[in-house]
Amino acid sequence: MTGGTRERFRIGALTLMLVLVVAYALGLALKDEIFSPLVDGWLSMLSVWAPVLVGFAAVYRVGRGNVVVVLSTAALTANALGDSYYLVVTEADGNAPLTSPADIGYLLFYVLLLGALGVLVNRQLRGSAWSVFLDSAVGSLGAAAVLAVILSPILDTVATNALSLGSAITAAYPLLDLLVVAAIAGIVASHGREGGLRWIVLVAGLVVIAWADTVVALQGDDYLVGTPLDASWNVGIALIALWVDDSARPRPVPDRTAATRTVSALAVPLVSTVAGLGVLILASQMPVSNFAVALAGATMAVAVVPLVGRQRVLNLLARTDDLTGLRNRRAFNADVPTRLADGEGRKGALLLLDLDRFKEVNDSLGHDVGDRLLIQVGIRLSRQLRSGDLLARLGGDEFALLLTDSGRQDAVTVAVKLRAALAEPFLLEGITLQTSASIGISLFPDQGSDLTALLRKADMAMYKAKTSRGGHHVYDSDDDSHGEIRLRTLAELRVALTDDQLVLHYQPKVDLGTGVVRDVEALVRWDHPTRGLLLPDQFISIVEEAGLMHSLTQVVLREALDQAGVWQAQGHPLTIAVNLSASSLVDIELPNRIGAMIAARGLPPSALALEITEEFLLNDRDRARSILTRLHEQGIRISVDDFGTGYSSLAYLRDLPIDELKLDQSFVFPMAESERAATLVSSAIALAHSLGLRMVAEGVDNGAAYDQLVGFGCDFAQGFHLSQPVSAHDLDGWLAARRLALAESPLLPADVHAVPTDGLVVETAEV
């Protein structure tokens, strides 16, 4: 099922559910007291199974690995099974039993839903500070105390053991509602305004169900089937199904820093504290269940933790990073000067560590995965600390480490150890991530006697390490000018991404059997306002280190598809191949976005081909299969670029939906002088054909290579011998001349493909 089909299935399930619930509620309001097979039977049953369909649509979208969605859908299913049994029994004998085996399904609904909430709480509160947990506890206890007052008649009956088994089961439902609502109140307290908005639909559904359960519990044997009250459960379940559907959408984890929790997050614990106090005052004026009083007392006790102890906790929290538990920037700025002063006369080093392409992890996989990655990074870095070292997370993906009694070589050794520790793959809830870090090093006191100077120079050294891809770099005086150039270029690049300064050039792929051109490759250029036309090797490294690859990819896709539309309107459609980085291809929403971009322009999916590298295939095979399959199902051709240069297993040729291989130019260049190289090329072409794949040879820069590839049976050729990458306007002229030459002579010679290129230099990077 394609992404578009999944979305249509989701919308259809939601629409069906809403229509059935509304029809059932209206039917109950309009019918008389006699049992109606249509309303009390069919509409009731269908309106309780429609939310299950919505849940299964959510599971289908996210897969069985999302435990929250799976458990929530199982809860909806258990409730539907219980309701179905209850309806069958009611219709069979006309009676409405207070208790029945249907209660097994109803009770299981609460167990499974609480399990889903437990998983979600564990995931979202991981790494939170103790103040967050205290606020969550206050919120939960306060909400429970208020509900316990409402349920006082039921609680008093339970306390006096006057309930029959049936009445006890009936009374259990509002108590379970109390427990779930209390749990959600705690979650909202920990996440503030953003978390509250996340849970409004779920809380509304549970409140509706709790109200209905309470009414039934108070009515006891006087409860009648077929009244408008029955619609309450269906409405509540439908609201919960809407929350399950929303839970299947990727969303970032709310920021849990102190700045974002100042007002909104404190609202729930503050209101809960006032509510707990109100319950205690009410208990002094009128009878209230002992359980409600106990909950209110617990609320006040947690809210008024001894001020001295709480102040100590808050002081510690003010120096601790909420996410990783390491020192934060404030603590680092306070502790380092003291260490430097105490170590006067001794050497030291400051290491500034920044994760490579971390922004792309957040953009592609969501802030939830990014946060969990940072937690694991903090753990691995902590394991490498020596006695006396200070480690801190300064913010984002930036960490700092102060080494005492360490010289230049000691600092380099530690940097190598840190990078090796981070090189091992991270496994985060089924997602395999490989990351690397760039480390800048400044030396004390030779390169700075205070923290400000050391940080500034370590920062310049770190960016030098990024651009050189060396992993680590010790500051030297030349880095000052490099840092200024990098910052200026980065600022200009951000403008270029939004100011139409990035343009595409196109290089044709020639069919070696017919000489026809149906495919071109799009290559990005920066039309810099003062430096002229820049090739990718002059700015791609800055794009990667600044985490702008996602934005650049969107610009390239948009311009390439716009040009594809122009060529289609002219009656000469061409397939445009776009190179995608490994970081772009971990984004599970990528197939949907690309499909929408193609559809918006009225293009066939064959107008686009995507070129990926073996690096992506090596990192996460399961994720690769899922994303590539969804792209391939839309009709988009998948090509493996730089084939033969990676170290991944050739098993991906068997397992993944690949249409084309692009033989790297390092194999094509030496063919004329090396029989071994020619044999490798011939064998690679035969391998591709045996698997039903097309073979494209890159780097065809002379007629001899062209003729050899024709002899080997290669399908397509691309290189400077045919045409350098040129603008769309110049390519139009080249294609027109080639079509004319082909019309005059079907056997087009290999050397009839010259295009003026104004001396463009050979490119060294592609996007």
Query: Which is more confidently placed, 96 or 387?
Result: 387
Q: How far apart are CA 513 and CA 255, in angstroms?
A: 58
pLDDT digits (tens, 9 = 90+) for 603-647: 999 999 999 876 655 555 677 778 888 999 999 999 988 887 755
Number of H-type helices and E-type strands within the chain:
27, 16
Q: Taking residues 650-662, what's their average pLDDT?
A: 82
The answer for residues whose C-beta is within 8 angstroms of residue 149's C-beta and 6 or more apart is 279, 282, 288, 289, 292
User: Any idea where the domains of the chain sit in the sequence?
Assistant: 3-303, 319-477, 502-744
The answer to whether residue 558 scores a pLDDT higher than 70 is yes
Superfamily (CATH) of domain 502-744:
EAL domain (3.20.20.450)
Judge whether 532 and 587 are in contact, CB under 8 Å: no
Burial class (CB in 10 A: 0-12, 13-18, 19+), 491: exposed
Look up residue 449 and give its DSSP letter.
S
Q: Taking residues 408-415, what's their average pLDDT?
A: 91
The answer to whether residue 229 scores a pLDDT higher than 90 is no
Q: Taking residues 70-96, what's their average pLDDT?
A: 77
* pLDDT range class, residue 423, cuts 50, 70, 90: confident
Q: Taking residues 164-185, what's their average pLDDT?
A: 64
Q: How many other β-carbons are positioned within 10 Å of the β-carbon of residue 587?
A: 21
Token output for 557: 């896709």
- The end-to-end CA distance of the chain, in Å, is 30
Q: How far apart are CA 564 and CA 192, in angstroms?
A: 46
Four-CA torsion 328, 333, 338, 344, nearest 10 degrees:
120
Judge whether 610 and 578 are in contact, CB under 8 Å: yes
Q: Kindly report which listed range (28-42, 344-358, 364-378) carries the lowest average pLDDT score.
A: 28-42
* CA distances, 15 to each of 10, 19, 46, 231 (Å): 9, 6, 13, 18
Look up residue 34 and give its DSSP letter.
S
Buried b / exposed e across 337-348, counting CB within 10 Å, b at 16+? Answer: eebbeebeeebb
pLDDT digits (tens, 9 = 90+) for 255-265: 444 334 444 44
Top mean pLDDT of 5-9, 72-76, 103-107, 760-764 is at: 72-76
The answer for residues whose C-beta is within 8 angstroms of residue 346's C-beta and 6 or more apart is 404, 405
Q: Taking residues 281-307, what's their average pLDDT?
A: 67
Instruction: Provide the 3-class DSSP secondary structure of residue 249.
Output: coil
Q: How far apart are CA 291 and CA 495, in angstroms?
A: 62
Q: How far apart are CA 246 and CA 198, in angstroms?
A: 9
DSSP H or E segment with residue 71:
helix 67-93
Burial class (CB in 10 A: 0-12, 13-18, 19+), 499: exposed
Q: How far apart are CA 504 and CA 524, in angstroms?
A: 5
* CA distances, 142 to each of 150, 190, 305 (Å): 13, 14, 15
* pLDDT range class, residue 87, cuts 50, 70, 90: confident
The pLDDT of residue 307: 44
Q: Kindly report which listed range (183-187, 392-396, 466-470, 654-658) carries the lowest average pLDDT score.
A: 183-187
Top mean pLDDT of 161-165, 367-371, 426-430, 451-455 is at: 451-455
Helix 329-342, helix 451-468: angle, nearest 10: 110
The answer to whether residue 113 scores a pLDDT higher than 80 is yes
Query: Which is more confidently placed, 229 or 725?
Result: 725
* pLDDT range class, residue 764, cuts 50, 70, 90: very low
* pLDDT range class, residue 763, cuts 50, 70, 90: very low
Top-level class of domain 319-477: alpha beta
* Selection from 199, 205, 320 nearest residue 268 by Cα: 199
pLDDT digits (tens, 9 = 90+) for 509-554: 999 988 899 999 999 999 988 888 988 877 887 787 677 888 888 9
Q: Taking residues 203-211, what's their average pLDDT?
A: 80
Judge whether 568 and 603 are in contact, CB under 8 Å: yes
CA atoms within 13 A on the CB side of 706: 21
pTM for the full predicted model: 0.49
* CA distances, 34 to each of 28, 84, 279 (Å): 11, 19, 43
The pLDDT of residue 599: 93
Query: Which is more confidently placed, 447 or 614?
Result: 447
Q: Kindly report which listed range (224-228, 367-371, 749-753) carries the lowest average pLDDT score.
A: 749-753
Percentage, residues of the chain above pLDDT 70: 71
The answer to whether residue 185 scores a pLDDT higher than 50 is yes
The pLDDT of residue 573: 93
Judge whether 280 and 292 are in contact, CB under 8 Å: no
Q: Kindly report which listed range (317-331, 379-393, 507-521) carries the lowest average pLDDT score.
A: 317-331
The pLDDT of residue 95: 54
DSSP H or E segment with residue 83:
helix 67-93
Q: What average pLDDT does the structure give for the chain?
A: 78
Q: How many other β-carbons are positioned within 10 Å of the β-carbon of residue 596?
A: 12
State the greatest distance between any 2 C-alpha atoms of the chain, in Å, as a whole number: 104
Q: Taking residues 137-164, what's their average pLDDT?
A: 62
Judge whether 569 and 602 are in contact, CB under 8 Å: no
The pLDDT of residue 1: 53
The pLDDT of residue 261: 42
How far is residue 577 CA from its own chain's centroid? 26
Residues paired with residue 519 on neighbouring β-strands, in sequence order: 509, 575
Long-range contacts of 7-15 (CB under 8 A, 24+ apart): 7/592, 9/57, 9/60, 10/54, 10/57, 10/58, 10/61, 10/245, 13/50, 13/53, 13/54, 13/57, 14/54, 14/242, 14/245
Judge whether 660 and 638 are in contact, CB under 8 Å: yes
The answer to whether residue 714 scores a pLDDT higher than 90 is yes
Rg from Cα positions in the chain: 33
The pLDDT of residue 442: 92
Instruction: Provide the 3-class DSSP secondary structure of residue 452.
Output: helix
Look up residue 726 and give its DSSP letter.
B
The answer to whether residue 22 scores a pLDDT higher than 80 is yes
Beta strands in 445-501 (DSSP E): 472-474
Q: How far apart are CA 691 and CA 82, in angstroms?
A: 52
Q: How far apart are CA 439 and CA 434, in angstroms?
A: 17
Look up residue 646 and give its DSSP letter.
S
pLDDT digits (tens, 9 = 90+) for 487-501: 777 788 888 888 889
Four-CA torsion 153, 155, 159, 160, nearest 10 degrees:
20
Judge whether 439 and 420 are in contact, CB under 8 Å: no
Q: How far apart are CA 463 and CA 245, in angstroms?
A: 43
Q: How far apart are CA 295 and CA 143, in angstroms?
A: 9
Q: Taking residues 658-667, what's their average pLDDT?
A: 90
Query: Which is more confidently placed, 283 or 432?
Result: 432
Q: How many other β-carbons are positioned within 10 Å of the β-carbon of residue 153?
A: 14
How far is residue 581 CA from its own chain's centroid? 16
